[in-house]
Structures are given as C-alpha cells and as structure tokens.
Structure 1
Amino acid sequence: MKFYEVHDPYYALIKARNEESAMKIYTDVVADDDGGLSEEITEVTEAYAAIRYSRVNGEDNKTIPIKEVLEDLTSEEEMILIIDGSLV
C-alpha cells in the first residue's frame, strides 16, 4: 500500500494501492475533483503517514490507540485515514 496526502480543497490522508485509486477514494468520500486534484495529491512515506495518523484524535476526541493505528496502516484495505475536520 501507498499513502497519499491532499491539502486542497480539503485535507485528507489516504491509504491506497495507487494514485488513481487514492483519487477515486478522495472524490467518493471527501470532495469532487475540480480538475486540480492530480496536482494536489502527493505520495508520502509510510513513516510520515504513521506519525500523522497516530497524532489524530478519533471520533471520541481521544488519540487513536496504537494497536488500531498499526492495524489500519498494515491492513490490505484502502481507506481514508484522516479527513478534514470541517467535513466530519
């Protein structure tokens, strides 16, 4: 799996098999592509994604447990790890 980050128009950290899949997940869950998504999406390292994701508060406003972070990062499921708080 690879990790992708988008900052504009809304922030998201996505785990996906490739950039095309990450872009589809973003447009399905976060926001429509106004034509600039391919320029906004960037691949980030696994270490960067792990650190960012481990510092995010979950739905209960508490830090996500390390066990859950590791399970999400190592699973074969494509997913949004972090989404802009204004969309929640």
Structure 2
Amino acid sequence: MFEEKYKTEIDALYPQVLAFLPKYKESGLLTTDLQRKLRRGYIFCALIMERLERDGFVSGYNGATARKVYLMNRKGVIQMKFFEVNDPYYALIAAENMAEAVQLYISEVAGSIEESSEIEEETKEVSREYALMKYIRTTCKDGENKDNILEFASDTRRVILMDGGLV
C-alpha cells in the first residue's frame, strides 16, 4: 500500500542513499539515520530500509540495534574479491584489488616492516567459494555450517582470517 504510493520517489532517491551508505559501515544504519539524512518521515524511510535489506545492502531487522552495512562499490553492488597471503603470516583478506589487499595486510597483519613488493609476491586472489571454505574450516564445529555461512556473508571485516599466533 505505502510502497506503491512512494515507489517513484524512492526510486529517485535510492542512488543518493546508496552513495552515503558506506559512511555507515562502521556504526551501522538506523531508520532514524535515513530520516535525518533525507529529511523524510518514518514510513518513507522504513520503506527505503526494507528495500536496502531486500537488495542485500543492510542486515535484517534486529530490534532497535543498527543494521550492518555491507561493503559495496560505487555502483551499489557488493564487489569484494578475496586474497590469501601465506608468508610471513597467514591472512584471508576481502578487498577490491591486489593493491588494497597488500595495504591491508601490511597495516593490519604484518605491520609496516614488510616490503609491499615481497607481500604482493606472496598474495594470490582466491574465489569466494575457496574463501568461504577456509572460513568454515577455521571457525566451524560439527553441524554449525549454516550459521557460519550466514556470518561469512554478513561479515564486514576486511581481514577475515589471520594467523592465530598474532591474535
């Protein structure tokens, strides 16, 4: 009922919403954030939030807590590649490209002492399926695959796994 009434207006504002969505990656997104940003009422913003959820840009409703915002590119499509580094420390990283993966590895895993050219030689792009299987093998106990698959799909961390000795 409401959705039909506001469809044209929501369609017009949706690209604007997608453009500011990454700013809420760390804090999460509430309907009230949309209200403030768009200067619109609750029902209108709740419909936008439902569409964001349906399109996979935010997590599902969880009471009054902020919804997780998933990483995306400027086109509004989830577009992370996965990279694995084995030496000097193991890490599985989600990044848009090799350069970003190397930078994340140096800053969050190895520290600034490593040479980026050496790290790049040790870094390889892996498929989403491979990354998921590594994640499941590392984090699962018997029979918990479904929960871990959902957790992997909604994880916003960029360094997904790293050498346990570093933690």
Structure whose alpha-carbon radius of gyration is higher: 2
Q: Which segments of 5 or more consecutive residues in structure 1 lack a partner in the other structure?
A: none
Q: CA RMSD in A?
A: 2.1
Shift of 1:13: 0.5
Identity %: 40
Shift of 1:54: 0.9
Q: TM-score of the superposition, structure 2-length normalised?
A: 0.43
Count residues with an aligned counterpart.
82
Q: Which segments of 5 or more consecutive residues in structure 2 lack a partner in the other structure?
A: 1-79
Structure with bigger helix share is 2
Q: TM-score of the superposition, structure 1-length normalised?
A: 0.77
Q: Provide Cα deviations, 1:5-34, integer angstroms capped at 9, x if missing partner.
A: 000000000111111111111011111423
Shifted more, 25-34 versus 45-54: the winner is: 25-34
4+ residue runs over 4 A deviation: none
Equivalent in 131, 146, 156 of residue 49 of structure 1: 131
Q: Provide Cα deviations, 1:45-66, integer angstroms capped at 9, x if missing partner.
A: 1111000001113xxxx64x54
Structure with bigger strand share is 1
Equivalent in 132, 150, 153 of residue 70 of structure 1: 150
